[in-house]
């Protein structure tokens, strides 16, 4: 795993068969976003392309090398690989995972029968899986002195997912063919799992990712209580993950 300014990028295996051009002087890609990336930094280039939505057909490429056409061709190949499944997301706080899980564990067993779940809903009677996630993450930030961008928290699963999308920290996995490896390499304890596929709408806290990609969670409103669950990385109801840990 390689990170660039907190952006996680998967691995070079997906780019087998792409040969980088020989470059004597380090050329620079000029994106419409203003980002400049040295070709000699392979992973930085991958991340910049993924996050700037680089399209070689309409974004100018300049180079200190005379071999601009060859570089363009190489970038085109990289883009085709990138747009077909490599995803990246920003992590805002870092090193928060164990704290999020620790806080979530404190509430195991709280339930609807005795009304204790209303701690998470501020007294409201409603579906409360997203309320639980919101409460746990906010309490963790308060205890650790860390913070997330404005607007975090929602009583709805869509609200949590959409916050992640707006803040570029949502890792969509539902359309990927390599779900197991992507989840093993990118998802951490304390991240937020989003179920928004095939008619399901649910969310929870990632407790642990096992070596085979199995996802262990702590969730609110699961069998009407706070409980632990586990899922295959290939579960067809998983949409993705909000990466906050």
Q: What is the pTM of this model?
A: 0.66
Q: What is the pLDDT of residue 207?
A: 97
Q: Give the residue from 1, 42, 49, 37 showing the smallest Cα distance to 19.
A: 42
Q: Which of 26, 52, 83 is the last residue of a domain?
A: 83
Q: Which of 83, 108, 129 is the last residue of a domain?
A: 83
Residues 76-84 have a mean pLDDT of 45
Same domain, 50 and 165: no
The verdict on residue 88 lying in a domain is no
**240 confidence band (pLDDT: 50, 70, 90):** very high
The verdict on residue 217 lying in a domain is yes
Residue 28: pLDDT over 70: no
Same domain, 123 and 234: yes
Q: Could you tell me which residues are beta bridge partners of residue 218? A: 205, 228
Q: Give the residue from 214, 209, 193, 188 showing the smallest Cα distance to 91.
A: 188
Into how many domains does the chain fold? 2
Residues 132-146 have a mean pLDDT of 93
Residues 171-200 have a mean pLDDT of 93
Q: Phi and psi for 158 in degrees, rounded to 5?
A: -60, -35
For 37-51, the pLDDT digits (tens) are 444 444 445 555 554
Same domain, 137 and 200: yes
Q: Which of 15, 48, 83 is the last residue of a domain?
A: 83
- Listing DSSP states for 145-207 in one string gives T----TT---SSHHHHHHHHHHTT-EEE-TT-S-HHHHHHHH--TT-EEEE-STT--EEEEEE
Same domain, 47 and 117: no
Same domain, 115 and 65: no
Same domain, 71 and 138: no
Choice between 71 and 153, residue whose per-residue pLDDT is larger: 153
Same domain, 59 and 150: no
**147 confidence band (pLDDT: 50, 70, 90):** confident
Same domain, 126 and 78: no
The verdict on residue 92 lying in a domain is no
Same domain, 104 and 223: yes
Residue 193: pLDDT over 80: yes
Q: Which domain holds residue 73?
A: 2-83
């Amino acid at each position: 795993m390689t990170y660039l300014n907190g952006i996680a990028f998967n691995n070079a295996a997906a780019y087998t068969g792409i040969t980088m051009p020989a470059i004597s002087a380090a050329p620079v890609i000029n994106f419409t976003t203003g980002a400049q990336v040295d070709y000699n930094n392979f992973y930085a280039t991958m991340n910049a392309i993924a996050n700037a939505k680089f399209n070689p057909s309409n974004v100018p490429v300049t180079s200190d090398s005379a071999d601009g056409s060859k570089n363009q061709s190489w970038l085109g190949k990289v883009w085709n690989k990138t747009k077909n499944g490599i995803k990246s997301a920003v992590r805002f706080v870092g090193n928060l995972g164990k704290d999020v899980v620790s806080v979530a564990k404190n509430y195991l067993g709280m339930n609807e029968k005795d009304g204790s779940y209303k701690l998470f809903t501020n007294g409201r009677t409603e579906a409360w899986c997203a309320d639980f996630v919101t409460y746990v993450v906010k309490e963790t930030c308060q205890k650790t002195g860390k913070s997330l961008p404005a607007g975090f928290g929602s009583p709805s699963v869509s609200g949590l997912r959409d916050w992640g999308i707006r803040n570029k920290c949502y890792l969509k996995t539902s359309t990927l063919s390599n779900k197991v490896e992507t989840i093993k390499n990118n998802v951490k304890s304390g991240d937020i799992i989003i179920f928004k596929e095939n008619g399901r709408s649910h969310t929870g806290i990632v407790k642990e990712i096992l070596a085979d990609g199995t996802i262990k969670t702590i969730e609110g409103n699961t069998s009407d209580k706070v409980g632990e669950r586990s899922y295959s990385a290939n579960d067809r109801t998983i949409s993705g993950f909000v990466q906050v840990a």
